[in-house]
Structure 1
Amino acid sequence: MPANLHHQDLAGRSATPHIAHCQRHCNISQWKPSRPQHHRRRALRRHCCAEQQSNACSVSHKPGYCWFQQIAQQSQQAAAACLAALQLSMLPVAGDLASPPPSSALLTSPNAQIPRSVDAALRRSIPAFNRDVKDVQNRMEDVSFKLRIPQRKPWQGMAENVQASLVLAQQPDKMMYGVPEERQQEAQRYLKAVQDGLKKVQGAIDLKDSDRTSIRTTDVLRNVAELELIQAPNLSFIPPKNYSSLPQLKGRGVVELIIEKSDGSSAFVVNEGGGPQPQAHLTMVLEGYSAPVTAGNFATNVLQKLYVGQTLTVDYTGVLVGKGTVSGKQIPLEIMSLGDFEPIYGSPLNVQAGELPVLPMSIYGSVAMAHAPDADEGFAAADEFFIYKYDRASSGLAGLSFDEGNFGVFAYIAKGAELIPQLTSGDVIVSAELVSGHNKLTKLPGSAA
């Protein structure tokens, strides 16, 4: 298998060397070294002293003391005054700091907005219907992020977030707003779990136990997400009319993939133990809230059994499925940017300019449609998808994949991610089922348009 399989088959283009990338973005070729500063000073000293000896220098100065040295001394004094003023400006003023503490500066970094796990990405993509529930989520997300601050953690700030969240969680009339009547009991169970979980987080923070705080915060966020899903309506936007004829998933869906080795051997080892297994079970969560057209297209392919019997093409960057299944069929590139209310269609994101996706590719187990070589610009293959093996070591300085913003992510492997490295070329998909989300899918196969 060629080493550049991912870029040729998945991206539909050849890999670009890193050196050319740097020359293009950093404009290295136009940089020219200037004359060293000390050379210019020596030349100036020789010129001034020569004029002094010939009595042609019009600037009055002491013997052996050139006018440029006076200017240099004045510049040094001015620089020292500026430095003293800067140091004074950073002293506490009226009980506050003139510059933010390191932790606040870290939290305001643009890259802090990018989720780094499957749970976080799926949780943050849920439309905010109930603002009080969303406030609890945001506060607990802040606690989760502050736990990553090394050494001295801001325990007081985390405690305040948890206390404010608990006050909101103990007001059922606010937290239950928007829950359908038929799902009241289910929502009440999740709300009770949130209340109990927040109290446990408080206890862990009082003990300043980072591990327990992290685990219990994750449990609270998981229950908050389930409550938000119950409250979330369909889409918070209307896709463009020119794509109305395509299937759309207006919410969440779940697909179960079962994969076997071509020789039928038992070679898959799961985290639960029990020895090698003959099948690999992958649970894929389709995110229709942010990518309804792409997720709807994939769900339709699954219902039509398009991927059953397909063999995998695997390399170190990803797992490609369905290559050449339906020739010529394509769908628009669909990516929702952070802060936007609807996806961008037919155009990649400019990540370098600060455009970041709601569903990032830079998470191990992200799923996107591939770029077929014959697909038009701004479109992706309708049949080929790949599971991305994100690797932090081969990513950019911000921890983002070099292909971030070029592919429309529509799903994540939520269960069975430990099996992805065990997949090899030639493995076969023996089953692909849409286990939930039928009621969210428009234009079911075989139904009237």
Structure 2
Amino acid sequence: MIAYQFCFVASRDWGCTRLYSSKCFRYGYKNGARSGRKQSNAHCSSTRINCIARNFQTSLQNLVKLLENSFCQERNRQSRATVILVLASCLVLSPIQFNSVDGSFGSVPALAAKNRFAPGTNEPVVKDPEAILRNALPIENKTIRKIQHSLESIPKDIRTRSWSKIEQEFKQANSLLDKQKDDILSNILESRRTEARNLLDNLISHKLPSLRQSISQRDSEKITLFNVDILRDIAVLEEDMVKQFPYEVPKEFDHLPQLKGRAVVEMTIKKANNQKFDLDGQLFDKGQVTLVIDGYSAPVTGGCFVDLVNRRFYDGMKVIRSDGFVIQTGDPEGPDDGFVDPQTKRKRLIPLEVFAKGDEAPTYGITLEDDGRGAAATVLPFTSYGTLAMAREEFDANSASSQFFWLLFDPELTPAGRNLLDGRYAVFGYTINGQEYLQDFKVGDYVEQAKVTKGIENLKQPAE
């Protein structure tokens, strides 16, 4: 029913009415208590109002779709009356103009056009998880960035069959790699320079010529495969340019594990009762999922997660929520709803950690909205299928522990750059392989094994 999908929440301390999606926003604990909202002195700034309005517009469009189906399906008079009441509230409160002639809300094409750009920026929204991770690296080498962005433009131009643009983008990347090789190498860590030189030589002599040939043959499939492979090599070069961790984590979090770099986690997931994953008619005994945890952007959250993986905490952990929007796990058996540190005998809590674009370090303990920056873009956004984030109690920003969720990104329900999650929940990584298994990962299914396969040396324990 509609009430399950969407609900109005009157925010007393803001003096505004917001539309929340209970399925896309409330990722609290299964057993977590729902305490009342704490009083806040936050003022209703123009930035916040604009942010709320934008979120409201997006949510309203989604509600309208649900209402259309409900009017067709509902036969109970009381249910219809409830639906009409909700719609009437929307018409009164919504910043979107209602067209009484055709019954449409606002200008959908105009709103869709806005969704192509990240909030607070003129940058296009990036949905590719590996591209997001490349952009999040704290490096300043303009040459490698130009190469990266030229190659990242190719998939978009393949879809529009813009072959001249593809050729131009390839030529720019190829020329820069060839002519600026020494400049690139000079920015690589000295301990990694030999491997980087070999990688560059292989790119220039083998991989780029293969991509050039595929472009000349107009072979879209091969172009995509070669381009992905080359961009992964570019990512290796970029990560080797990070000479040191770019900022100091507040000392108040020294008691928590921290990830001072990146780590890769390989996760094996299985269906309950020996069932098989059904992917478009193909059956699989288990799924292999690859996660990249970004400690550069979320060192505390990422560190706590990698620490739990390394402790084998998630092995055997069941899915407790899978509703088509998120998949949530990490709730251990027994009375505790998080990880209890065996040394302190207390549940380990993780502060909310959100890195806004343009900031020098993450913001801790407060949502960007409560910080008066609700429209700010984040370094790690909720724009990719399989985005990883920590679950927490709804009204306590610092209540995360071990439960996390995958966002099953749906552009219709959580438009890129226009959703209710960015800046409110701590993203700490992305799923880069095996995303297809998530669509059939249901309640009762479980993580058979999670293992850190790369970057464990970046995990710093409190005593270190």
Report the TM-score, using the length of structure 2 for normalisation. 0.67
CA distance in 2, matches of 1:360, 1:7: 14
Q: How many Å separate the matches in 2 of 1:21 and 1:251?
A: 48
Within 2, Cα distance between the matches of 1:368 and 1:413?
11
Determine the C-alpha separation between the residues in 1 that align with 2:428 and 2:196.
26
Distance 1:230 1:207 in 2: 34
Change (3 A) 1:107 1:247: closer
Which residue number corresponds to residue 68 of structure 2? none
Aligned residue in 2 for 1:257: 267
1:165 is matched with which residue? 173
1:424 corresponds to which of 442, 455, 458: 442
Aligned twin of 2:138: 127
Q: Is the 8 A contact 2:266 2:291 kept in 1?
A: yes
| Equivalent residue, structure 1, for 2:452 | 434
Any residues of structure 2 matched to 1:379-390 within 5 Å, and which?
Answer: 379-390=398-409
How far did 1:290 drift? 1.0
Query: Cα deviation per residue 1:358-379 (whole Å; 9 max; x = unaligned)?
Result: 2111211111000225x63x32
Shift of 1:297: 0.8
Which has more radius of gyration?
Answer: 1
Superposed displacement of residue 30, structure 1: 12
2:324 corresponds in structure 1 to 316
C-alpha offsets along residues 153-210 of structure 1, whole Å, 9 cap, x if unaligned?
A: 4835x54443333232124321212334443342123213432444455555566666
Looking at structure 1, the residues matched to 208 and 88 of structure 2 have their Cα atoms a distance apart, in angstroms, of: 47
Structure 1 residues 242 and 394: CA distance shift in structure 2, 3 A: same
> For 1:248-287, what aligned pairs fall within 5 Å after superposition?
248-265=258-275, 267-269=276-278, 276-287=283-294
Measured against aligned partners, the alpha-carbon deviations of 1:242-296 in whole angstroms (never above 9, x if no partner) come to 223321111111112223333233x02579x9x6333322221111111111100
1:219 maps to amino acid:
D
Aligned partners of 2:295, 2:288: CA distance in 1, in Å? 22
CA contact (8 A) 1:234 1:251 kept: no
Kept in 2: contact 1:310–1:321 (CA 8 A): yes
The percentage of counterpart residues that share the same residue type is 27
Match of 1:118 in 2: 129
Distance 1:399 1:186, change over 3 A: same
The Cα shift of 1:441 comes to 0.8
Structure 1: state its 5+ residue gaps: 34-102
Query: Number of aligned pairs?
Result: 365
SS, match of residue 387 in structure 1: strand
Cα shift readout 1:109-143 (whole Å, capped 9, x = no counterpart): 94743211112112211221543222322333344
Does residue 179 in structure 1 map to residue 179 in structure 2?
no
C-alpha offsets along residues 382-440 of structure 1, whole Å, 9 cap, x if unaligned? 211111111112224x5643323321111112221111111111122232222222210
| 1:190 and 2:199 correspond | yes
Q: Which has the higher contact order (CA 8 A, sep 6+)?
A: 2
Q: Is the Cα–Cα contact under 8 Å of residues 261 and 427 in structure 1 kept in the other structure?
A: yes
3-state SS in 2 of match to 1:381: coil
* Maintained 8 Å contact 1:6/1:315: no
Indicate the residue corresponding to 1:394 in structure 2: 413
Q: Please, what TM-score do these two structures have when normalized by structure 1?
A: 0.69
Whether the aligned pair in 2 keeps the contact of 1:256 and 1:284 (CA below 8 Å) is: yes
Contact 1:368 1:411 in 2 (8 A): yes
Cα 1:30–1:422 shift into 2, 3 Å: closer
Instruction: Tell me the equivalent position of 2:239.
Output: 229
For residues 23-78 of structure 1, the C-alpha deviation after alignment (integer angstroms, 9 at most, x for no partner) is 79995499999xxxxxxxxxxxxxxxxxxxxxxxxxxxxxxxxxxxxxxxxxxxxx
Whole-angstrom distance in 2 between the partners of 1:25 and 1:216: 50
Tell me whether 276-285 or 4-13 shows the greater mean CA deviation: 4-13
Distance in structure 2 (CA, Å) of the matches to 1:146 and 1:219: 18
Measured in 1, the distance between the counterparts of 2:365 and 2:88 equals: 27
* Structure 2 residue corresponding to 1:343, chosen from 362, 375, 397: 362
**Residue of structure 2 equivalent to 1:218:** 228
Q: What letter matches 2:360 in structure 1?
A: F
Matched, 1:356 2:377: yes
Report the Cα distance in structure 2 between the residues aligned to 1:349 and 1:228, rounded to whole angstroms: 29
Is the deviation greater in 161-170 or in 197-206?
Answer: 197-206
Query: Aligned residue for 1:242?
Result: 252
Which SS does the other structure have where 1:113 is aligned? coil
Task: Determine the C-alpha separation between the residues in 1 that align with 2:311 and 2:349.
Answer: 16
Distance 1:247 1:439 in 2: 12
Gaps of 5+ in 2: 6-21, 37-55, 64-85, 100-112, 332-336, 341-346
One-letter identity of the residue aligned with 2:451: E
Instruction: Determine the C-alpha separation between the residues in 1 that align with 2:98 and 2:237.
Output: 59
Q: SS at 1:424's partner residue?
A: coil
Determine the C-alpha separation between the residues in 1 that align with 2:277 and 2:95: 50
Residues 1:331 and 2:339 are matched in the alignment: no
Amino acid at match of 1:300: D
Whether the 8 Å contact between 1:368 and 1:408 is mirrored in structure 2 is: yes
Q: Residues 203-241 of structure 1, C-alpha deviation per residue, up to 9 Å, x if partnerless?
A: 555666666555443333222111112232342222222
Partner SS, residue 280 of structure 1: strand
